[in-house]
Structure 1
Amino acid sequence: MSVSAAMAPSTAATDDVGKQYDWHFAMLHDQPRNRAFHQAIAHSVRRSAAARGKPIKALDIGTGSGLLAILAARQPDCSRVTAYEIDRRLAAVAVSNVSRNGFTDRIQVIAQHSTAAAVRPADARASLLVHEILDSDLLGEGVLPAIRHAAVALLEPGYRAVPARAVVYAALLEHPGLPAFDRLAPVPGDPVLDPRGPLKRLLSPGSALGETAVYDVHVDDEVSLHGGRPLSAPFKALAINFESLPGPEGQKALIKVPVTATGLVHAVIFWWEAQMEADGSTEIMSNTPKCFGGVGSGHWLQAACLLPVPRQAFAGEELVVEASHDDNSLMFCLRPSVESVPSSLSCMSGTVSHGSSHAAMGDASRLQTLNCRSRNLALWRAAQWVARAASRASLTATAPVIDIGDGPFLSHLVLQCLRSGSVLAVGGRPFRRLRRQATLMQISKRSKGSKPSFARSPAVICLERSQEAFGFSCKWLGARGTALKPSSGSGSVPDLKATTGRRGWRAEVVCSDAPDLPSRAAGALMAEPFFSDLDGDWGEAAIGLFWSQVTALRGALTARGVICPGSASIHGELVSCADLWSQRQPLPSGGLVEGVDISEMNSLHSLAGVRCMEGQSYRGASVAERASLLTVDFRTRCPWRPPWPAAAVRLRPRPAERNSQELVAHALVVWVVWHLAPGVEWGQEPERPGARHGVMLLQQPMAVPAEGLLVQASFDGAHCHFRVSH
């Protein structure tokens, strides 16, 4: 028997579509959610029709598969349903599901956002609103603006809504790891984060270290696995009535919260309970975590509002928490006292964007990675090795180093190791077809008190892929100089201009008007590696992009030049994760959910390919030893055609588990280990905060025998392929 989940080139586009709708299948497998909607819709249709003395019309905003619209239409007292869906693929699926269930004459699916709908006459308006445009922090998908528009344009006065209202609950949380989500934290002695180094330019007097921001989290995991500790009991924060909306300015509440344990408050975590009917007569839908009395939040996460500065709290005292919201977000902050808070002041108006999260040119995962001290030390050791290699690469002077990754951190470390020289930062989009002018700026490292000097032979050439990355690099490196325009003529550096392309990758390195750098002159090609536009990549895209760029630029290396990282290994382990596997499965035979046939949704399903995840979000247990599956050597040329790098490795159970109960694997978890220099490496293991890894779900769960399972791995220059078999 062989179970394959390889992402073949011919099916890559289909697999990407399948990954896009993973969350939808998790939602449709959430039985408490489906049951709560079914009961509430049936009750609300009957009550609304009875109150009006005639069959009613219903409005479904964000219909998705069409399930909720069909649940309404099959009620005898519902004469018509208008359903809006902005995703055209989902809208087409909803139309097919409506047809399967025989409601084409009673349900109209419109593929647009409901807020684009024109005002309807009174006799065409709906008296029942069905919606589920909610997210982990309740308001992030724009539920309030959508309902506010519908109340004016599409609904009768006094309409009913399902859900009818939502109550937000919260608790204080101590979690030293959470601040790394949105700020660069100064660490004395850290090569990157030492407050006496370039970081001080981002943390100048009067600027804050972080910002009030909200992130999705899995509270049960943060408490049980990652060191989180509740410092208060849950408290009611806000209530939002979807049948009588607050104004666009939102609401504010001040709550006195008793502290139950001494500690540092890093965040306010919150969740919600959606009352499906206003009188609470039917089941609720909730994402309450288990550690606060929930029965499991199904496919939902929760949210954490990080405080700009942690607050010391002592058991027995009361803290004043302000909860507020506008049309798009919920926010929490701490106040000195109830009496000292002006009525006009709220967390929303007081929220300050300090730029630290934008400075790193990335999301929370990127910031967590930059705050990892072990990684920064590994980069420092790699920079020392690169500097020594560059010094040895030329007999006359230090050969320049070319940094082809986004961000200035490795360039800065190498320059520190060289102790002299300058940096040339190249901005714009030098790795794409250059149609716009790029900006070149020379940045000189100088001693204290000296005037800036702009050498024509830079020690480091820092190539940035975006203007944002270029601007931040200049700020980090202390840029002062003149902006130059790229020349349109040939001439300057032919060996630094190369174009390669394969399967969508295009690497075009342009360094016009740069200091003259003849062929075979660079001492090193290096990268962190980090590329700001590879969002949602677990590592395979970074491998492919770095390898293609190194291949394009290798003509610039001296005979003794080095590449950092020199190679990358893809590691993996087999895990048991029944919950995640079940949530990602297609709908069962017949596609019945609450008696409704929505089997057309399976046309958007795919288990093939590797999903990018962060942290131990698969929440599984390892059933086999970890091992290196495949190594990619960047010192060789990136292959544009077979044979691809490939290997086969047998993953065996740990000795202590070989004779225990039957082990079952549901997924292969993979991650990248970068070999930066001899004896220096850094890996993106799943347990590392912010590390991104890939999860490949097996087509069927597989028993893991004593001899283990065979994993075949290959890399074609753009994608990794895996096959698991006995």
Structure 2
Amino acid sequence: MTLTRDTAPAQDAVPAFDVAEFLAWGSDLHDQGRYEDAARAYRLILGVDRHNQEALLGHNRAVRHAVPRWHWEMLHDEERAERYDHAIRRAVTANPDALVLDIGAGSGLLAMMAARAGARGVVACEGQPSVAETAVEVVRTAGYDDTVRVVPKMSTRMTVPGDLPRRADLLVTEIVDCGLLGEGILGTIAHAREHLLAPDATIMPYRARVYAQLVESVPLHRKNHVGKLHGFDLAPFNRLSTLEYFDSRLHRHEHRTLSEPLRVFDFDFRTADASPQRTELRVRPTSAGRLHAIAFWFEMDLVPGVTLTNAPGVESHWKQAIQCLPVPPLVQPGDPVAVTALHDGRHVRFEVAPAEETA
């Protein structure tokens, strides 16, 4: 068998090979940013020498790049798990014969919750190869592999009846980031409604709202901007700062809120698509201050009466979304601030009019 360093391994079982060459190949793939291919290369080595320390470390390094660390914090988010479990039990009890589709299954937790609640058939899709492979083992270890089938692909590449025996009756998903839309929930659910779900399918979550608040916080602004330091003007480095949001726990940074929270978007996942939207707001500051950032978060309704949120003060693994302003304006209670909230179907962002335009 001849393989070049630009060729990804087609499978995890090959004839005898030179371990040193494959170690070098895996390292090359890793350096190229091809982390899944690197992980497969190292797995080939581990298939014949499961104690090879270089392969174990190389595989782990590749997986660490491919699998975000937030998975562990998410899995320990007890409120998230309890509310999804409650909502899933309600939905499955109402229709035990429902075929359940779990999109973005991760560890398989929500899929197994559906099986535990009595669902007779669950298909869990996961597009990240290493995560999907591990989910198969998790489901098998839990004893639900007779009910839960893991499909290692993105839901937008799934077909009926190729991957689903029929259109699903219950969709369960949690493909949201701190700003709600960043993992593509709008387009993913819209695609599922058209191609994978029965016309009267239950969609979980079925609604969500985005709230925003004006914030004064020098520490938060410093996470994304720099000026004169150590006798040098480092402002040109701000060309590399993020123009959109990053996640952070608001309560861990000294700050003052300069407005009441405002609802800026409302989504009904039973009908919404990924079409861009914009909302024009006139925000009345509640106190004077320097507007360094806009903090925003979501409320997400799983089923009626069961809601999840990452609002400030809630110990959610999602944290809050923070968008810093490049030039923070002064705001006054008597002068409304013109704020435009926009999303392109996947990213929420805000624009604040210059001070002279908000008077």
**Fold shared by both chains (TM-score > 0.5):** yes
Do residues 267 (structure 1) and 293 (structure 2) align? yes
Deviation (angstroms), 1:38: 0.4
Count residues with an aligned counterpart: 302
Q: Which residue of 2 aligns with 1:289?
A: 312
Choose which of 302, 309, 334 in structure 1 pairs with 2:320.
302
1:158 and 2:205 are equivalent in the alignment:
no
The structure 1 residue matched to 2:131, chosen from 82, 90, 94, is 90
Pairwise CA distance, 1:18: 6.3
The offset of 1:102, in angstroms, is 3.4
The match for 2:80 among 33, 44, 65 is 33
Letter matched to residue 58 of structure 2: A
Instruction: Give 1:285-684 correspondences, 5 Å limit.
Output: 285-290=308-313, 294=314, 296-297=315-316, 299-335=317-353
What is the CA distance between 1:59 and its match in structure 2? 0.8
Rg larger in 1 or in 2?
1
Listed as ranges, the matches of 1:188-227 within 5 Å are 190-193=231-234, 212-223=243-254
Alpha-carbon distance in 1 for matches of 2:60, 2:175:
25
User: Distance in 2 between the 1:145 and 1:24 partners?
Assistant: 22
Q: Partner amino acid for 1:35?
A: E
Aligned residue for 2:245, secondary structure, equals strand
| 1:589-615 C-alpha deviation (Å, 9 max, x unpaired) | xxxxxxxxxxxxxxxxxxxxxxxxxxx
Distance 2:354 2:60 in 1: 52
| Matched residue, 1:136 | 178
3-state DSSP of counterpart to 1:145 = helix
Please state how far the C-alpha of 1:97 moved relative to its aligned partner.
2.7
1:56 maps to 2:110: no
- Structure 2 equivalent of residue 235 of structure 1: 262
1:42 is paired with a residue of what secondary structure? Answer: helix
**Alignment partners' CA distance in 1, 2:242 and 2:58:** 38
> 1:171, 1:270 within 8 Å by CA — same for their partners in 2?
yes
Cα–Cα, structure 1 residues 123 and 88, in superposed 2: closer, same or farther, change >3 Å? closer
Q: Is the 8 A contact 1:210 1:309 kept in 2?
A: no
Report the aligned-residue RMSD. Answer: 3.2
Whole-Å separation in 2 of the counterparts to 1:222 and 1:112: 39
Of residues 42, 46, 56 in structure 1, which corresponds to 2:89? 42
Name the CA distance, whole Å, in 2 between partners of 1:310 and 1:322: 16
Q: Structure 1: which amino acid aligns with 2:302?
A: M
For residues 255 and 147 of structure 1, the distance between their equivalents in structure 2, rounded to whole angstroms, comes to 28
SS of match in other structure, 2:74: helix
* Cα-to-partner distance string for 1:628-661 (whole Å, 9 max, x where unaligned): xxxxxxxxxxxxxxxxxxxxxxxxxxxxxxxxxx
Contact 2:102 2:110 in 1 (8 A): yes
Are 2:219 and 2:253, in contact at CA under 8 Å, matched by a contact in 1?
A: no
Shift of 1:64: 1.1
Match of 2:57 among 12, 15, 19: 12
Is 1:108 aligned to 2:132, yes or no?
no
> C-alpha separation between the residues in 2 aligned to 1:188 and 1:84?
49
Gaps of 5+ in 1: 1-7, 341-726
Q: Which SS does the other structure have where 1:276 is aligned?
A: strand
Q: For 1:74-130, what per-residue CA distance to the aligned partner results, in whole angstroms no more than 9, with x for missing partners?
A: 333x33211111122221222223223433332221111111123559971012110
Q: Which residue of 2 aligns with 1:679?
A: none
Check the 8 A contact 1:213/1:307 in 2, yes or no.
no
Overall identity of the aligned pairs, in %: 34
- Tell me, in whole angstroms, the C-alpha distance in 2 between the residues paired with 1:103 and 1:160: 22
- Code of the aligned partner of 1:213: E
TM-score by length of 1: 0.38
Other structure's SS at 1:238 match: strand
Q: Could you report, residue by residue, the CA deviation over 1:688-711 in whole angstroms, capped at 9, with x for unpaired residues?
A: xxxxxxxxxxxxxxxxxxxxxxxx
1:118 aligns to what? 159
Counterpart for residue 122 of structure 2: 81
Report the CA distance between 1:333 and its aligned residue.
1.8
1:184 offset after TM fit, Å? 5.7
One-letter amino acid of the structure 1 residue matched with residue 296 of structure 2: F
For residue 312 of structure 1, report the CA deviation from its aligned partner. Answer: 1.4
Q: Partner of 1:563 in structure 2?
A: none
- Secondary structure of 2:84's aligned partner: helix
Decide whether the 8 Å contact of 2:104 with 2:125 is kept in 1: yes
Displacement of 1:149: 1.6
From 137, 140, 151, the counterpart of 1:99: 140
Secondary structure (helix, strand or coil) at the match of 2:71 reads helix
Q: Distance in 1 between matches of 2:245 and 2:138?
A: 36
Amino acid at match of 1:219: L
Give the CA deviation at 1:210: 7.5
Give the distance between the partners of 2:351 and 2:167, measured in 1 at CA: 40
Q: Flag the 1:255–1:107 CA change in 2: closer, same or farther, 3 A.
A: same
Asked if the contact 1:209/1:309 (under 8 Å) is kept, the reply is no
- 1:73 to partner: Cα distance: 2.2
Matched, 1:244 2:271: yes
Q: Is the 8 A contact 2:249 2:319 kept in 1?
A: yes
Distance of 2:123 and 2:135 partners within structure 1: 12
User: Which amino acid counterpart does residue 301 of structure 2 have in structure 1?
Assistant: Q
Is the contact between residue 193 and residue 199 of structure 2 (CA under 8 Å) also seen in structure 1?
Answer: yes
Q: 1:129 to 1:183 in 2, by over 3 A?
A: same
Residues 71, 176 of structure 1: alpha-carbon distance in 2 compared, 3 angstrom cutoff: same
Deviation per residue, 1:155-181 (Å, 9 max, x gap): 122322222222111110112344455
| Cα distance between partner residues in 1 of 2:134 and 2:241 | 43
The answer to whether the 8 A contact 2:160-2:166 is kept is no
TM-superposed deviation, 1:61: 0.6
Instruction: Find the aligned partners of 2:158 and 2:55 in 1 and give their Cα distance.
Output: 39
CA contact (8 A) 2:220 2:253 kept: no
- C-alpha separation in 1, matches of 2:212 and 2:219: 19
Matched residues in 2 for 1:46 and 1:255: separation?
42
Q: How has the CA–CA distance of structure 1 residues 190 and 335 changed in structure 2, closer, same or farther, with 3 Å as cutoff?
A: same
| Structure (1 or 2) with the greater helix fraction | 2
Give the match's secondary structure for 1:213: coil
2:329 alignment partner, SS class: strand
Please state how far the C-alpha of 1:71 moved relative to its aligned partner.
Answer: 1.2
Provide Cα deviations, 1:50-84, integer angstroms capped at 9, x if missing partner.
Answer: xxxx72111101111111111112333x3321111
Residues 219-263 of structure 1, C-alpha deviations (whole Å, 9 max, x = no match): 11123xxxx3221122222122222213x3332223332211211
Q: Specify the SS of the correspondent of 1:158.
A: strand
Matches of 1:210 and 1:26, distance apart in 2: 26
1:218 partner amino acid: R
CA distance in structure 1 between the partners assigned to 2:136 and 2:266 by the alignment: 35
**How far does residue 136 in structure 1 lie from its aligned partner after superposition?**
1.4
Once residues 209 and 287 of structure 1 are traced to their aligned partners in structure 2, the CA distance between those partners, rounded to angstroms, is 27
CA distance in 1, matches of 2:127, 2:111: 15
Closer, same or farther: CA 182–68 of 1 in aligned 2, 3 Å = same
Per the TM alignment, residue 32 of structure 1 is displaced from its structure 2 partner at its CA by: 0.8
Check the 8 A contact 2:329/2:354 in 1, yes or no.
no
Call closer, same or farther: CA 1:216–1:209 in 2, change over 3 Å: closer
**Equivalents in 1 of 2:345, 2:171: separation in Å?**
18
